[in-house]
Amino acid sequence: MNLLPISTPLGMIEPLLIVCGVGFAILLLDLVLPHSKKHWTGTIALAGVAWAFVRAVGQWGLEQRGYADMVVLDDLATLFNLLFLASTFVTILLSEPFLRSETVEQTEYYALLLFCTAGMMLLASALDLITLFLGIEVLSISLYVLAGYRRGSDASNEAAMKYFLLGAFASAILLYGIALTYGATATTNLSKIAEALTTAEAAFPAGLLLAGMAMILIGFAFKVALVPFHMWTPDVYEGAPTPITAFMSAGPKAAAFAAFLRTFFVAFGPIHGDWNMLLSVIAALTMTVGNVAAIAQTNVKRMLAYSSIAHSGYVLIGLVAGGNAGGTGAIFYLLAYTAMNLGAFAVVILLEHRGVGGDELRDYAGLGFRYPLIGATLSLFMISLSGIPPTVGFVGKLYLFGAAVQTGHIPLAVIGVLNSAVSVFYYLRLLVLMYMREPGEVLPPIRVPAAIGAALLATSVATLGVGIFPGGWMEAARQGVRALFS
């Protein structure tokens, strides 16, 4: 059914409205549903996300601006919306066992997840620093609560507190940066900032603008966990409920990158030379710190947290390279990373849930032969994360490093591949543990819940399938970038 014509302002943000609406509906339903029926809200949330996804698919190829040019609908926004909705869908699938085993409220959990998704979607469609800030805040505040959702656990509380305090600082800095940029260019609209920077070269106060840009950069750097603003990541990833950790490393990270991409390619595109060098140093640092620190971890969630930092560094290579190739590389990598990382977390959640050990690496000893299918799936994700073909992780890295080489950033590409070599060590350590060590205790048989099974199937098909036939995703990523330069 077509409730809202695409040309109307509301039709333009239809998927966003659906997600918000379902979120509110769930909150209201909570009042009337008896306790035994509360798990229905999960199904409703799934249906809502699926509906929004279908509507977002319908928006592919459409371009429109609205709300006084504060919101834009283009292929970049649509592509990211699809990514967010897909990752939220998978997260809901992964959350069901967690919510059932821990005695926590289900309804608010799903509602918060949906609001967070709405924030991400707004972020990807923001054409104005104000909407952008609005998106970031909606996203972040939902996440602060979700990170502390295991109320009984100290670690979870610590994660939420840390994330909230540091996140609030980062938001404040970002906001200050927006204010300074407004002071320098007299506008908060991304395209108009670019115009101001190209036409009135000498007219704006350079110091003010650069300070503003640097602060905006810091804000983004915090959200996507770039060195040296990454300190919160390991603690928050470790303490948060595992489905939320999985979610944070996928959707919100991609959302922050989407805004990062749009802000720096569109608004600050004209002064490319001023931020390029800085970003390439940050990229090199982020990859190196993330990978080297990951080696030393003994906890799977902390290891994946550092690995997520390292992967932010890889994506940043795309931003440094810039242009069509760099943008496409960054977007493709985000798609790839979401698929393979959600998959890896799905396995962690499954094992956690089934009481086969916990989050410690040593708990994985001997799993591979005891549970052949689970072992093979986790191996696939690890191989993909380390960038070995024929997986989507390899194609993504190939594209990113290719963009770097093409634009003459060969040292950065070399640092990138050396980092990949380092990362092979810790990713494949899971294979060592699973296949080359004996289990510490007798491992009980595992029955895979249908929801997690579906999530695993989807992510592994994407990881392997797109690894072998990357054409479709690549074309989508390319289309998305084209929207930036039109």
Partner 1 sequence: MTLTILGVPILTFLTFFPTVGALLILLLPSSKPRTVRVTAFLVSLFTFAASIPLFTLFDSTQRGMQFTEQSAWVPDLGITYHMGLDGISMLLILLTTLLTAVSILASFSAITTRVKAYMVTFLLLETGMIGVFVSLDLFLFYIFWEVMLIPMYLLIGVWGGPRRVYAAVKFILYTVAGSLVMLVGILKLYVAHHATTGVYTFDLLQLYDTALDPGTQLWLFGAFALAFAIKVPMFPFHTWLPDAHVEAPTAGSVILAGVLLKMGVYGFLRFAVPLFPEAAMTYTPWIIGLALIGIIYGALVAMVQRDVKKLVAYSSVSHLGFVMLGLFVWNVQGLSGGILQSINHGLSTGALFLAVGILYERRHTREIADFGGLSETLPWFAALFMIVCLSSIGLPGLNGFIGEFLVLLGAFRAWPLVSAIAAVGVILAAVYLLWMYQRVMFGPITHEKNRGLPDLTKREFWTLAPVILLIIWIGVYPNPFLRRLDVSVSELLGRVRTHTLSLKAPPASPSMAVPASAEGAK
Of 21, 185, 204, the residue nearest 115 (C-alpha):
21
Q: Give per-residue burial for 236-254: e unless 16+ CB within 10 Å, then b.
A: bbbbbbbbbbbbbbbbbbb
> Would you list the DSSP string of 225-241?
T-TTS-THHHHHHHHS-
| Residue 474 touching partner 1 (CB under 8 A) | yes
418 makes contact with partner 1 (CB under 8 A): yes
| Interacting positions 207-226 with partner 1 (CB under 8 A) | none
Beta carbon of residue 135, minimum distance to partner 1 (angstroms, whole number): 32
Report whether 70 contacts 130 (CB < 8 A): yes
Degrees to nearest 5, angle at CA 109 with 450 and 129: 115
Decide: is 45 part of the binding site for partner 1 (CB under 8 A).
Answer: no
Q: Is 406 in the site for partner 1 (CB under 8 A)?
A: yes
With residue 395 as reference, give the H or E element that holds it.
helix 392-406
CB 65 within 8 A of CB 72: yes
193 neighbors 187 (Cβ within 8 angstroms): yes
Question: Residue 114 or 383: which CB sits closer to partner 1?
Answer: 383
Residue 285, exposed/middle/buried by CB under 10 A (0-12, 13-18, 19+)?
A: middle
Q: Where in 135-164 is the site for partner 1 (CB under 8 A)?
A: none
At closest approach, how far in Å is the CB of 399 from partner 1?
8
Nearest of 185, 186, 187, 263 to residue 221 by alpha carbon: 263
- Is 413 a binding residue for partner 1 by CB under 8 A? The answer is yes
> Between the CA of residue 480 and those of 18, 63, 81, 258, what are the distances in Å?
23, 11, 11, 11
The distance of closest approach from Cβ of residue 377 to partner 1 in the complex, given in angstroms and rounded to an integer, is 14
- In angstroms, the CA 79 to CA 85 distance is 10
CB closer to partner 1, 60 vs 425: 425
- Nearest distance from C-beta of residue 432 to partner 1, angstroms: 6
Residue from the set 63, 102, 360, 475 that interacts with partner 1 by CB under 8 A: 475
Return the DSSP state at 439: -
Neighbouring-strand partners of residue 64: 73
Write down the least CB distance from residue 366 to partner 1, Å. 11
Please select the residue that binds partner 1; options are 33, 168, 424, 446, rule is CB under 8 A. 424
Q: Does 181 bind partner 1 (CB under 8 A)?
A: no
The binding track of 428-457 with respect to partner 1, each residue x by CB under 8 A or -, is: x--xx--xxx--------------------
Q: Which CB sits closer to partner 1, 160 or 481?
A: 481
State which of positions 312-331 bind partner 1 (CB under 8 A).
none
* 59 touches partner 1 (CB under 8 A): no
Of the pair 354, 429, the CB lying nearest partner 1 is at 429
How far is it, in rounded angstroms, from Cα 314 to Cα 294?
15
| Min CB(323)–partner 1 separation in Å | 13
Using CB under 8 A, which of the segments 20-28, 76-84, 128-136, 416-424 binds partner 1? 416-424
Among the listed residues 54, 172, 277, 417, the single contact to partner 1 using CB under 8 A: 417
Residues 6+ apart with CB under 8 A from 400: 314, 315, 317, 318, 321, 329, 330, 333, 416
Cα 154 to Cα 163: distance, rounded to the nearest angstrom: 14
Q: Residue 2 in 3-state DSSP?
A: coil
**Separation between Cα atoms, residue 252 and residue 139, nearest integer Å:** 7
191 or 406: CB nearest partner 1? 406
Least separation in angstroms between residue 458's CB and partner 1 is 21
Q: How many residues bind partner 1 (CB under 8 A)?
A: 33
Determine which residue in the list 405, 446, 448, 454 makes contact with partner 1, applying CB under 8 A.
405
292 binding partner 1? (CB under 8 A): no
Span 373-402, contacts to partner 1 by CB under 8 A: 383, 388-390, 394, 398, 401-402
Where does this chain bind partner 1 (CB under 8 A)? 369, 372, 383, 388-390, 394, 398, 401-402, 405-406, 410, 413-414, 417-418, 420-421, 424-425, 428, 431-432, 435-437, 469-471, 474-475, 478
